[in-house]
Structures are given as C-alpha cells and as structure tokens.
Structure 1
Amino acid sequence: MDKIALITDSASDLNTNFVIENNIKIVPFKIIFSDKEYIDGIDITPKALYEYLPKEIPKTSLPGVDDFTFALEQVKNEGYTHAIIITISSGLSGAYNSARLASENVPEVKTFVFDSMTLTMSEGAMVIETLNLIKQEKSFDEIVITLPSFRDKIDVFFTIDTLEYLIKGGRVGKVAGTIAGVLNLKPIITVGDDGIYHTVCKIRGIKQCISKLTNILTNYLENHKCKVWVLDGNAPEKSKMLYDSIKDIPNLIECTLGGSIGPALGVHTGPGLVGFIVERLD
C-alpha cells in the first residue's frame, strides 16, 4: 500500500497543532527585515509581524528548491513511498516551481506537486481534504486525479484597509486603483481562476463590507452545504462581526472563527483584513 506524505508551504496558514498531529511537513517562507531574517511560523508570529509593520514593511522570500528537497528527504527517511506537495498559487509566488524542481531531486519518493491557485486557508482546506483522502486509504493515483476538483469547491473573499502592502509587495494582481481613501471605499477581493487577485466590488465602510461579504456567502449557501473559515488579519473585532453575521445562515455546516493570516501573507495584506474561505460540500 502507498505510504503518502503531505507537504505544503507556510502560506497555507494551517493550525500548528493540527500540522504536528498529522505529520504534515510545512516548508516555510522567510520574512526579511533590514536587520534580521525570520522563518514564517517558526520564530515570528502574526502578532509580532503586525507590531513591526508600522516601522518597516519587510520583504518575503519564497521556499527554495533546497527547502522542498529537505522536506522530501525527511519523508523518505520516515519511510514514505509517495508525497503530495500543495503550494500557494503560482500566480502569486514561485513556490510551485521550487517544489516541482525539488521533486526531481528525490526520485526515491514518487511526488506530485499541486498548484492550489489560491492561498491562506483556501490552500489549507485543500491540504485538509487531501489528508482525509490519505486517511481513507485512497491510492496515490486516486488522490492525484481528485485534487483538481478542490479548486472548483473552495473560494476566498476578503477586504483590506489599504492597498499599500499589496502594491509594495508586487502582489496587486488586477486590484490596482480600486481604493479611494477619501471616500472610504474598500475592495472586496477574491482570487480568480488565474490564481491572482481580482476586485469583486468596491464598498464604502466596514459595516457595508461585512454586509456584502455576508451576501456573497448567502449566495453559496442557498444552493450548497458549506464549510467556512473566517479570516482575521489583525482585525479581531471585524472578524467577530462577520462571524456573528454569518454563523446562523442555513446550510452552514461548520464555521470556524480565528483563521489567522500568517506573517508571510500578512506582509502583503497589512493589518485590518477580514474575510472568509468557503468550501462547498455537495
């Protein structure tokens, strides 16, 4: 029987205890300040990152070929025969290419690299679903065939206070020019099928943003049973507002508050992000 390892990058924003309990290998991004380099999720927390941001907006460094190779060597030494690597969208990072090249360095482990075409808990949800398939003892080939279907079932929507961080990080996608600060206009952003950011609409004020996000989710729940993660980018009060607005909508099977945006992504979105991940279950 296939012994399948699961590897992802730290942009998946998975809960640390969940990762440890299920022996998921996390290949971290790096957060680079002018005087120090941090390893995402290891020696810098989201709270610390947001405290640093007013002083300096750091750069991020994607996981390299050597980093993914090290993870594959680890799972080989643990007796795994196969590995599935799920990465952040190739439209937002070069991590997918690093993982693909690394897979050639450890031929003893049959590896499939999957481009999630998304990020944060959208990517994390795909890891969770893949783990469930492994636990069900599905074969490597069965899982590889199933993976692309996850992209059609999982979406992300969020709003941010300012585009400053996306612009400085070069991650603005097709969102440029959508905020008018004087008018307090904020974009509702999603990740498109092309794996980059797109503006859904522009809304004035946070209460209206929460209402619009609720309406977007309601459209999903009218036709599908869904699982939802509420995203919190150093905006706990806003996240609680969204949670309270959606938690009792019919067909919402599970709603998790506290999907913290990790440091690697927080660098590019800045403080004040609120939104949700939605996974259709039927």
Structure 2
Amino acid sequence: MATTILIDSCCDLPHTYITENELTVAKFPFVFKGKTYEDDFGNTISYKDFYDGVRNGEMPTTAQINIYQYEETFRSILEKGHDIIYISFSFALSGSYKNAHTAKNNLLEEFSDASIDIIDSRCASIGEGLLCYHAIELLKSGASKDELINWLENNRNRLNHFFTVSDLNHLKRGGRISGAAAAIGTVLNINPMLTVDKEGKLKVVSKIRGRKKSLKALVEMFEERVENPENQTIAICHGDCEEDARKVEELIRSSYNIKDVIINNVGPVIGAHTGPNIVGLCFLGKERA
C-alpha cells in the first residue's frame, strides 16, 4: 500500500519544494492585521509583507491546527487508500500534536483498516523541514513505511537547531525571557542563541553581543556538532534577512564541502514568536542534550 508523508506548515520548507513534490500539508492558522489566514509558505501573504508589518508594530497571533482540520486532511489521504506518516511540529511547542491523535482515533472508527502514524518531530521551523526533507527523499528512494518510521525515530534527535535573534521583545512576549532581560539585552545589543533540546523545547544557549559575532557563533556550533558534512544537505532559515543567511552559508562553504543548502524564510507562525531578523542553522550531527 502506498504511503503519504504528511507535513505541516511549521516546517518552513520552500514553497517550490512543496509544489514540485506535490506534498500534502496541514496548515497552521494565524491572525494578521485582524484577519485569519492559513500559513501557505508565503503564497497569500508574502514573507516581506508579513515581516514589514511586524516591524511596523503589527502583533500577529497563532493557533493550533484543530481536530476538524486534521480529520479533513487525514480523510483526503485515506480515501486514496494510502497509509499516513504525519511528521508533526514539536509536541513541546504546540498542542496540535494532541489534536492530531484525537483526529486519528476519530477516523479509525470510520476507516477501521487505516494506518496513521503520528511522529513528534521534536523539531521546529526549518529543523522540522529538514527532518521532513530526509524522510521524503527516503520515500522517493523506495523506503518502506516501517523503514521511514525507524529512521525518523532514530534520527530526530540528531537534527541540531541553532537560532539567533536580534529583537528580544518577541521572546519577552512569548515568555522566553523577562522584561528586564529584554530591556537590558536591547541596550547592550545582545543576540541570544537558542536551540531546540531533545524534548523539542526551546531554550537559550548563550548570549552574544553583536550581530556578526552571533552569526559566526552559529557556524561554530556547526563545526562542533556536525557529522559527515560532505554528505549532507543542511538548512538555513531567516526572518526576512536573506543577506545574513547567505553569510552563514558562505562561512560554512568556505571550510566544508557540503552537499547542498536549503535556504528559506521563517514562516509567520514561527515568526510571530521570534520577530524579524532571526537566523537559524540546522543539520544532522551529535544527538541533542
């Protein structure tokens, strides 16, 4: 039986990759300028328009994918007679994972022979996207459903994430840092580096003074933790600051003969919580702590 890998829009993969591979996507909703949208990889609202709005004071909000949305998405796949492997946004960062399980259990009453596997990626943004990318490439190479699930479960904690942000007020809004820390950090030009730990939670790794140093620190984490870089496709994400993302790529390529690089914007669902000018670097390497 055919297997469909279902992804969600928090993966922040390029829209061209989504369309070229005819991928099915569960789309997170967000509210921007008083209207509710589905995250569709910059198609309805361009990334630039979104981030310009945030820079001008707009405060977008986000929500979970609800049970009904999951039921409809799962049903559209099951009606084709396909098995489903859904690679979800980190359970530690969103309740959508629970909603997906509820939808699965509801549909098993209707499709008693259905096979729906829900995998907590324990990843976020392009880290989740890179995990999905590897799974999709494995499926295209002929891997079985069980082989895909085993690979995901054995490798998700090898997917390293490192992000740096320049606007601390968005982290303050999300409760990641205190108001006092945000105020002091802004004055001192602090650019925190964050990671996603083995449980899929976001945490601050270090506090770096200055943008250039923070970008270099991303590369230093790559050097410290990467494994077999010459055989890897790595991923870099950014919040409407492609020049900085390209700088990180340049620094890595100057020392490593990597296979390929995926570069894309951080979508509005993640970007609502990080703000503009985030830069993230994701790759396979040592297991996360």
Distance 2:146 2:228 in 1: 31
Deviates more, 1:184-193 or 1:15-24: 15-24
Q: Which amino acid in the other structure matches residue 89 of structure 2?
A: I
Name the SS for the 2:106 alignment partner.
coil
Distance 2:23 2:60 in 1: 27
1:160 is aligned to 2:165: yes
The answer for the alignment partner of 2:79 in structure 1 is 77
Q: Which has the higher helix share?
A: 2
In structure 1, stretches of 5+ residues that fail to align are: none
Name the SS for the 2:194 alignment partner.
strand
Deviates more, 1:239-248 or 1:184-193: 239-248
Distance 2:198 2:133 in 1: 21
Distance 2:237 2:15 in 1: 16
Deviates more, 1:66-75 or 1:124-133: 124-133
The answer for the alignment partner of 1:13 in structure 2 is 12
* Alpha carbons 1:247, 1:255 under 8 Å: kept: no
- The Cα of 1:76 is off from its aligned counterpart by 1.7
TM-score, length-normalised on structure 2?
Answer: 0.87
TM-score, length-normalised on structure 1?
Answer: 0.89
* Alpha carbons 1:160, 1:274 under 8 Å: kept: yes
Report the CA distance shift for 1:94/1:173 in structure 2 as closer, same or farther (over 3 A): farther
1:199 is aligned to 2:204: yes
Q: RMSD of the alignment, in Å?
A: 2.4
In structure 2, stretches of 5+ residues that fail to align are: none
Distance 1:93 1:180 in 2: 27
* Alpha carbons 2:237, 2:281 under 8 Å: kept: yes
Distance 1:104 1:254 in 2: 39
The answer for the alignment partner of 1:128 in structure 2 is 133
- 2:143 corresponds, among 120, 138, 144, to 138
- The Cα of 1:65 is off from its aligned counterpart by 0.9
The answer for the alignment partner of 2:268 in structure 1 is 263
Report the CA distance shift for 1:169/1:185 in structure 2 as closer, same or farther (over 3 A): closer
* Alpha carbons 2:122, 2:157 under 8 Å: kept: no
Distance 1:19 1:235 in 2: 22
- The Cα of 1:35 is off from its aligned counterpart by 2.4
Deviates more, 1:7-16 or 1:138-147: 138-147
* Alpha carbons 1:44, 1:263 under 8 Å: kept: no
Name the SS for the 2:90 alignment partner.
coil
